[in-house]
Amino acid sequence: MGSEGGRAGPRRARHHVHRAVQDLVCARAHCADAQLCARDRVSPSPDTPPRVRGSGDDTDQRRLRVAVIGYGNSAAWVHCPLLRAAPDFDLAVVVATSRRAEERARADGLPVVRTAGEAAAFAPEVAVVCVPDQAHETFSLEAIAIGAHVSVEKPFAPDRVAAERVRNAARRAGLRVSVFQNRRWDDDFLTAGALVRAGGLGDVTRYALRFADWRPEPGDGWRDRARSGQLDGKLADLGSHLVDQAVCLFGPVRDVFADVRRMRPGVTVNDDCTLLLRHVSGVVGEVIASAARPCLAPRIEVQGALGAYVSYGRDGQDTQLRDGVLPGSAEWGRRGREPGTSSLIRPGAGAVDVERVPGNWLAYYEQFREFVVRDGPAPVSMADALHVIEVLEAASASSARGTRVSLPWPSSGAAS
């Protein structure tokens, strides 16, 4: 009887842990602020200017007209499907920055102009900037010049100085700016965040965040070309997402030690990046962004005093959008449940499967509208957006020097 009781105890414990975790995750998924960073829930963003456009009861009730600047894959496959699915936005016009983009937008039935100035005739309240990284500053400033609030793809700008110019221009114009960091609304990150913020892991001590693929043949797109003096390669691309997730969940970074290198033959831009971050909070973490290694390790690991959360594989919302699966459908933001791919590990109790919170990239635009018309918190604050750029620049400097770099880092471009 004693041995049977000993065996039943752990089973009951595992059951209670599993039930408690699922209740916790479900509650956080239905909580309106579950997708916000801790600092955003405490007080309004200091970056919120007085309203100039998008104010008043009429605007609160009507749909916002949107100019999409650039029409590559991210605009056609991610932003436009999300904006169409959002009940409070109208796609008014596309600013095509190339002949190919113009043809693609026209084929999708969208009005097309060639400059932001021409887009002003369509009276957009919001501009969604989806051009290559090096042009983010230019087109964000052009959007501000025609009186539009701005949502810009990550990274915010090619360096912190450029990002601050955009921030300051928006402040002077009384307009809002945020950065499309959609990976804050990935299923695995929402699940990890729910557990951390509710204390389900205890005091967090360390984490690892990874986006890694093994692609032996380099690509030939703009992301595969080096940009002197600017953030580029996997550091700018995937690193932007990962550092943003780290900052969102664990707060500002105190210092960074990084290895940013070119691994594959023939590449001209960094394709393998490892960043070791120490946060002001005392949490330490490893960030890996790579196209040169197989990712057999978990996508997310978060370890605390009471346990750890581990998740394998990637959120599939990008694939769903390309396949025509839109927000509101039963399968939106969900992936198949495979045992052992999303687990809570407790000391002495083993691992229990945890159902992930459904991903929801649409939440970015829902919150962006509240930011514009009702003075709600930014989906991604300027403080976070600028700090992410600062961390990435410090990582570049750390790798070049072979030393740990403390923040704040005095930016004068990514190569400084």
The CATH code for residues 183-406 is 3.30.360.10
What's the pLDDT band for 18 if we cut at 50, 70, 90? very low
What's the pLDDT band for 399 if we cut at 50, 70, 90? very high
Q: What is the pLDDT of residues 334-364, one digit of tens each?
A: 998 889 999 999 998 889 999 999 999 999 9
Determine the average pLDDT of the residues in 210-231.
76
Which ranges of 208-253 would DSSP assign to H, the alpha helix?
Answer: 233-236, 238-250
pLDDT for position 410: 60
The pair of three-digit structure tokens given for residue 229, joined into one six-digit string? 């003096």
pLDDT for position 411: 52
How far apart are alpha carbons 130 and 128 in whole angstroms?
6
Q: What is the pLDDT of residues 294-311, one digit of tens each?
A: 878 999 999 999 999 999
Return the number of other C-beta atoms located less than 10 Å from residue 7's C-beta: 9
Q: Do domains 49-175 and 183-406 have the same CATH topology?
A: no
Identify the CATH homologous superfamily for domain 49-175. NAD(P)-binding Rossmann-like Domain (3.40.50.720)
- By DSSP bridging, strand 204-212 and strand 149-153 are unpaired
What's the pLDDT band for 54 if we cut at 50, 70, 90? very low
What's the pLDDT band for 57 if we cut at 50, 70, 90? very low
pLDDT at 215 > cutoff 70:
yes
**pTM for the full model?**
0.87
pLDDT for position 222: 60
pLDDT for position 266: 85
Return the number of other C-beta atoms located less than 10 Å from residue 330's C-beta: 6
Q: Which stretch of 48-62, 157-171, 253-267, 311-325 has the lowest confidence by average pLDDT?
A: 48-62
Domain boundaries, the chain: 49-175, 183-406
Q: Is 54:82 a contact under the CB 8 Å cutoff?
A: no
pLDDT for position 55: 44
Determine the average pLDDT of the residues in 59-68.
85
Q: What is the DSSP letter of 226?
A: -
- Give the list of residues 6+ apart from residue 215 with CB closer than 8 angstroms, or none: 264, 291, 292
Determine the average pLDDT of the residues in 87-102.
96
What's the pLDDT band for 62 if we cut at 50, 70, 90? confident
The pair of three-digit structure tokens given for residue 376, joined into one six-digit string? 């709600």
Per residue, what are the HEC states of 146-179?
CCCEEEEECCCCCCHHHHHHHHHHHHHHCCCEEE
Q: What is the pLDDT of residues 140-177, one digit of tens each?
A: 999 999 999 999 999 999 999 999 999 999 999 999 99
Torsion, CA 235, CA 240, CA 241, CA 242, rounded to 10: 60
* DSSP calls for 24-41: HHHHHHTSTTTTS-HHHH
Mean pLDDT in the chain? Answer: 86
Determine the average pLDDT of the residues in 285-301.
92
For the chain, what percent of residues have pLDDT higher than 70? Answer: 81
Q: Give φ, ψ of 53 to 5 degrees.
A: -115, 160
pLDDT at 5 > cutoff 60:
no
Q: Is 312:298 a contact under the CB 8 Å cutoff?
A: yes
pLDDT for position 10: 37
How far apart are alpha carbons 255 and 284 in whole angstroms?
10
For residue 123, the surrounding DSSP H or E stretch is none
